[in-house]
Structure 1
Amino acid sequence: MDAEIPLPPPRRVCSRSPEITTGNDASRPQSSSRLTDESSIPSSDPAVFSSDDFPYSSIDNYQPSAKANVKKRRYYGTWWGSMKTKRKKRADFQEKRNLDSGVWMGSDESSENLLSSESFNEEDSVPHAFSNEISTRSAKRVQDSAPDTGRRAVPGRPVFLAWNRLVEEPKEHRDARALVNDCLESGRERVDLSGRQLGCIPSGLLRPLLHLTKQPALDYPPVDDDDYSPLTPSLQLFLSGNSLTELTGELFELENLQVLSLRNNKLREIPSGIRRLTQLQEINVSVNRLEHLPYEMLLLMQTGSLRQIYVHPNPLLQLENASDIETWHYTNRDEDGTLRMKKYEGEAPAEAQSPIHIATSRVRRLDSQGKPFSGHYPSHRAPDAVTRVPSLRDLALLACSRYPYLDKFLQEEDLTGFPELVVQLLRRARDVRHQGDQICSVCGRNFIVPRTEWIEWWDCSIYETAVKQRESNEKLRPLPFIRRGCSWGCVPASD
């Protein structure tokens, strides 16, 4: 035993020893040595590992703490035990995670859950429809998860997912979209949608025509730059022979539209949004149910490029049957009351080459709901002294009409908690926006509910016959144009 070589002492580890002072040794200088034998004694406490020590650490290694907002999760034990435990938690990370990182990664499972019937309530109605071409796999997945509505999804056909039910787009709408796309591909300026049995203009049908560019027709190379023709299209749109009851604002966005045919439809009124078609040269609105024409169409004749109109036959309000004429502006009539052009010799007067204002009806004032005002006008205030400042209701309706989710809100079935008047006004604001907005014919301000309206009769025979001027003593055929004002102060100017 004495011959055995003794083991070397434990290695001395450099560590900072605590400075302990007592009352008796407070004045005694402490030893400057920082090496002690106690520092080399192994501890029985388990090792402490932080989450940042492992490459697979992520946001789930953080847990709430009472002292701080975020605290790292620690593991006490061996490093191999920590690795094993972490891998086990990582496997259940997708199910047990309750802290959102702000990034959503889609998958096939998530798409199925999104289109399943559990994601939507049966009471929810259609806020809006979206049309996309879907593949065979997507069509089968949507059809399997959607409730049975009597119509099956066909792969390769556009469908509409209306929250909890599947609605296939009508065939006439698909054919119309195919024709518009064909015009875009070939650069044809003539878009003929006549006789397509369209009850309405589907959303997004006409807007692609904004990007139409005509193809140059050159049989031989041009000699100089003047032989090149501009690529700006002279768009011609034909919608005759359908069952249209109203026009959408998409039609009035076509700035390059020059020829528009709305013949043989069921239109009762042409929206004032037609004022945007500043390049329009010819329009046909015959064989409809029009009682009057918009005043904005008259402005296109006076200041725009409109030179040819077709308005007959239509149940237009005749001047002979009007009993509320307020002012006559043209009085050259025969003994039987027939209006005629004044006789002239030689050079034609200016009125022979422009529309002639014949008469103006009595102004009809409306209340804040757009109904005829049944009360008496205040006697202490003259009509021309009424302010044109819009009311708070008018401003609120204008703001609501620009709300992008107004359609979704109004298409909900449960609106019983809202006053009936509010719902009616919101629906009116939606309709005005869909028809291209309307402006006051006096002050030019946008409005939703008109407060005044009246009829003006103008003779536009030179635009119906496409002649340059009227002949002497020619019979006049006045047309009714309706004007609307945004306030009681917007009335016809006194001559």
Structure 2
Amino acid sequence: MHINFCLQEIDLKDNNLKTIEEIISFQHLHRLVCLKLWYNQIAYIPIQIGTLTNLERLYLNRNKIEKIPAQLFFCRKLRYLDLSHNNLTSIPADIGFLQNLQYFAVTANRIETLPPELFQCKKLRTLNLGNNCLTVLPSRFGELTGLMQLELRGNRLEGLPVELSECRLLKRSGLIVEEDLFNTLPLSETEELLKAQFTQK
């Protein structure tokens, strides 16, 4: 059996996997940078995930995951985390430890609220929250000043926080939301977002 000690990427897309303990418990994966486990039948993330401390990109979308273990947040180098199309009902407060996170997707889950710690991820560029069960959004969205894409379509929202205008890089085209929700913003805030649309490339 040949093992690549310098392995940096594993792609196990669409393999009907139900468990991944044996895969990620390989001691030789400490240099792994990218792990693609999308389109499987994975029901939970084993605690061994925390040993992959060099991991930067993790694709777990389109599985059957119900809970995110605390050990995932030991992967402090994560820049890209896709958990969309799973069965999640919450985002752990430990998300705040992922200070390098730039892309975070939990589209099409059953999430009802957002933890305040999410807004400690100051490097976020893309935040995909569409098709969940959110009813209100925190005013702290204004703290994510690097945000360029925010997906909110398909929730149970009645309005948007006016603080979105503080996300100077967020253009109207990057705000994926129902038109009637966008129109709940005060005129001055919609002008700010539209101004960003035309003043930035």
**TM-score for both structures, normalised by structure 1:** 0.26
Could you say which residue in structure 1 is the equivalent of 2:75?
254
Task: From the superposition, tell whether residues 351 and 316 of structure 1 become closer, same or farther in structure 2 (CA, over 3 Å).
Answer: closer
Q: Within 2, Cα distance between the matches of 1:298 and 1:463?
A: 21
SS at match of 1:296: helix
SS at match of 1:293: coil
The answer to whether the aligner puts 1:173 opposite 2:10 as a matched pair is: no
Could you say which residue in structure 2 is the equivalent of 1:208?
51
Could you say which residue in structure 2 is the equivalent of 1:285?
106
Task: From the superposition, tell whether residues 198 and 292 of structure 1 become closer, same or farther in structure 2 (CA, over 3 Å).
Answer: same
Choose the corresponding residue for 1:472, options 161, 181, 191: 191
Gaps of at least 5 residues in structure 2 are 1-16, 138-157, 176-188, 195-201
Task: From the superposition, tell whether residues 351 and 199 of structure 1 become closer, same or farther in structure 2 (CA, over 3 Å).
Answer: closer
Q: Within 2, Cα distance between the matches of 1:339 and 1:202?
A: 36
CA apart distance, 1:307: 1.8
Aligned-pair Cα RMSD in Å: 3.7
Write out the 4+ residue segments of structure 1 that deviate beyond 6 Å after TM superposition.
337-341
CA apart distance, 1:473: 5.8
Could you say which residue in structure 2 is the equivalent of 1:312?
130
Residues 308, 464 of structure 1: 8 Å contact kept: no
SS at match of 1:309: strand
- What does residue range 327-346 of structure 1 map to in structure 2 within 5 Å? none
User: 1:424-477 CA deviation, whole Å, 9 max, x = no partner?
Assistant: xxxxxxxxxxxxxxxxxxxxxxxxxxxxxxxxxxxx9669928xxx762658xx
Larger radius of gyration: 1
Letter in 2 for 1:274: I
- What does residue range 19-418 of structure 1 map to in structure 2 within 5 Å? 172-174=18-20, 177-178=22-23, 181=26, 184=29, 187-204=31-48, 206-210=49-53, 212=54, 235-300=56-121, 304-318=122-136, 352-354=165-167
Q: Within 2, Cα distance between the matches of 1:173 and 1:181?
A: 14
CA apart distance, 1:180: 6.7
Q: Within 2, Cα distance between the matches of 1:297 and 1:313?
A: 18
Residues 180, 191 of structure 1: 8 Å contact kept: no
SS at match of 1:237: strand
Residues 171, 193 of structure 2: 8 Å contact kept: no
CA apart distance, 1:203: 3.0
Task: From the superposition, tell whether residues 309 and 279 of structure 1 become closer, same or farther in structure 2 (CA, over 3 Å).
Answer: same
Residues 340, 473 of structure 1: 8 Å contact kept: no
Residues 19, 44 of structure 2: 8 Å contact kept: no
Q: Within 1, Cα distance between the matches of 2:71 and 2:119?
A: 21
Task: From the superposition, tell whether residues 281 and 339 of structure 1 become closer, same or farther in structure 2 (CA, over 3 Å).
Answer: closer
Q: Within 2, Cα distance between the matches of 1:464 and 1:305?
A: 20
Task: From the superposition, tell whether residues 462 and 285 of structure 1 become closer, same or farther in structure 2 (CA, over 3 Å).
Answer: farther
CA apart distance, 1:295: 1.2
CA apart distance, 1:270: 0.5
CA apart distance, 1:202: 2.1
**TM-score for both structures, normalised by structure 2:** 0.59
Gaps of at least 5 residues in structure 1 are 1-170, 213-232, 320-336, 342-349, 356-459, 476-495
% identical equivalent positions: 24
